[in-house]
Amino acid sequence: MCGISGIINRKNIQAEKDEIVKINDLISHRGPDDEGFFFGETFAFGHRRLAILDLSSDGHQPMSYLNEKYTITYNGEVYNYLEIKEELIEDGYIFMSNTDTEVILASYDRWGEKCVNKFNGMWAFSIYDKEKNILFCSRDRFGIKPFYYTESDNKFIFGSEIKQLLGFDKDVLVNRKILVDYLLYSLEEHTNETFFKNIYKLEQSHNLIYDLSKNTFKIYKYYDLEIDDELASLSEEESIIMLKDRLESAIDLRLRSDVKVGTCLSGGLDSSSIAAIASKKYFAETNKRFIAIHAKSIESKTDESHFAREVAQHCNLNLIEVEPQLEDITNNIEEVIYTQEEPFGGPSIFMQYFVMKKARENGCIVMLDGQGGDETLFGYEKYFAFYFASLIAKFKFIKYWKTIKNLQLFKVSKKYILRDSIIILFRNQLSFLEDLVRKKRTFIKLKSHRKSLNYIYSFKDFKNFQKRELKTSCLPHLLRYEDKNSMRHSVETRLPFIDYKFAQSAVSMNDELKFKNGYLKYLLRKVVSPILPKSIVWRTNKFGFEAPTDMWIASYKDVMISKIQKSKILKNTVEISDEMFNNKKLLWKMYNIAIWEKVYGVKFEA
């Protein structure tokens, strides 16, 4: 787990050493253990190392292979590297280290660009292929690890963070299209564009091939999550056994480490499931209690520390709690916004930030976390409406009424679900919905491009909706929060629920089993019911490292309004009114933009 940097000079002269060193230094937090550089004829690689596997100098990067036939700068972990290594040894390959980095290089030599199909893990890398005179760049299937790039002044620059790319243009400009998507629809990470104009990200499941001879590049997709129809025909018992198998395998792979491993624990079903399975395996191997870190909210209605303690006691975990006060949030606003690099959804991100900080303080360099469980296993209450819309579309009215009668509700009502089911089915056909949105959003000065977002809001069936949640509308921004917060503290997080084999199996399974007897994530509840307390397995109130948002806004509202009113970007984007300040979500978004504008010196281009 590391940070990467790259500069290609299109003037066919060597990239400047000062430039690659400068952008590499900006991500020192991603790799405090080592740094390295490699210079080609017209390009340079930089690397910052966070040592996880093979802590010796053999893991130094950029790493070359076969007498510098290939050179890589790489960020991530290929968890199944041992299995791939055995296969390569049988083919005659010789290894000089115990790193997964060397396995990637040998895999590229053996299978070429298709090597990424062999990997189970998370990655963003660039391999210099000397014979072909290309850079082979890749990002993992779900985009856990970031890869940003830009083109400026006859240069192509890439890196693990946006801040590395900002110094190459005269001005730092806001991307108005993405800004409007965020303000109107709370969208982030839904395209390859960022909040910064002319800075892009290589999308998940994509490779980028840069031809150094022609100074051109192409991008193509190498993976799509395919639905396995056979899994949908499994019985409940068979589904539970398979899901348990896949989850335990995913956790097994993610416990491979030469440094201390711990886990995040909110007390919710996902994090508790991972903690219960991982702690048992960890204790069997090390005879030590597994560390779990919990963020306790000082606001009683968002505090779930009692659930975390119950899990810790039941699973013999070493529970460490962090309890941020309101002033901790206030004092770290600019730091967290600098860390995240782009505006984000709400103050709960601060809680995750403090968890990662506490992990580092306690020597946990690797942390497991539960991102992806909701998207793969039907975990959000908003999914009720999409599921029922699919039943209505198939004229399964009897099943609809039987199912809705048994709903285990917490935040939404049956009336709300019915209303949204109808909207989901007909929003593409009913023009009045577009008018409704437009009337409600008249505060935006810039033109909205709602029709261009139809690919996000159109609904075909529940399987396609789940795939979209994983690829576009939900998971990507959660992965961004996770990566930025953890790596700011030199911590690697690993996410068993988006092991690609687990995710593909979970999405493929019978939807009626994921949502049975009125319970979200029914199958997962059945998988972990033997190893967790009933109060955790069957709880319906969902939080997840929730910040004391209402308390903080109440105490800080005047300052937020003052910052908003001073923002030049917002003055050019929004018709600001006092009424808007009573909408907490909108208030936060505007405040976030104002601070982001200040931290990164972002300008509005007329």
Residue (of 163, 160, 110) closest to 137 by Cα position: 160
Integer Cα distance of 477 and 512 in angstroms: 28
In this structure, how many other beta carbons lie within 10 angstroms of the beta carbon of residue 88? 21
Residues 6 or more apart in contact with residue 145 via CB below 8 angstroms: 75, 76, 122, 123, 124, 139, 160, 483
Phi, psi (degrees; rounded to nearest 5) at 427: -65, -25
Residue (of 350, 346, 334, 336) closest to 295 by Cα position: 350
H-helix segments, 543-604: 549-566, 568-571, 584-600
Q: Is the CB of residue 234 less than 8 Å from the CB of residue 510? A: yes
Q: How far is CA 415 from CA 392, 399, 422, 461, in A?
A: 15, 17, 11, 21
Integer Cα distance of 300 and 593 in angstroms: 29
Strands (E), 343-487: 366-368
- Token digits of residue 506: 């979970």
Q: Is the CB of residue 232 less than 8 Å from the CB of residue 239? A: no
Within the chain, how many helices (H) and strands (E) appear? 26, 17
**HSE-CB for 487 with a 13 A CA cutoff:** 31
Integer Cα distance of 463 and 460 in angstroms: 8
- The question of whether 2 is a catalytic residue gets the answer yes
Integer Cα distance of 31 and 491 in angstroms: 9
DSSP bridge partners of 122: 77
Q: How far is CA 347 from CA 184, 304, 589, in A?
A: 18, 17, 10
Integer Cα distance of 467 and 521 in angstroms: 16
H-helix segments, 489-583: 500-508, 511-514, 522-528, 534-537, 549-566, 568-571
- Token digits of residue 508: 């493929």
List the Cα angle 177/182/188 in 5-degree steps: 95
Integer Cα distance of 129 and 136 in angstroms: 7
Q: Which helix (H) or strand (E) holds 434?
A: helix 431-440
Peptide bond into 533 cis (omega under 30): no
Integer Cα distance of 187 and 431 in angstroms: 22
Q: Which of 2, 137, 364, 474 is catalytic?
A: 2
Q: Which amino acid is located at 221 in the chain?
A: K
Residue (of 432, 428, 451, 429) closest to 440 by Cα position: 432
Which sequence positions are flagged as catalytic? 2
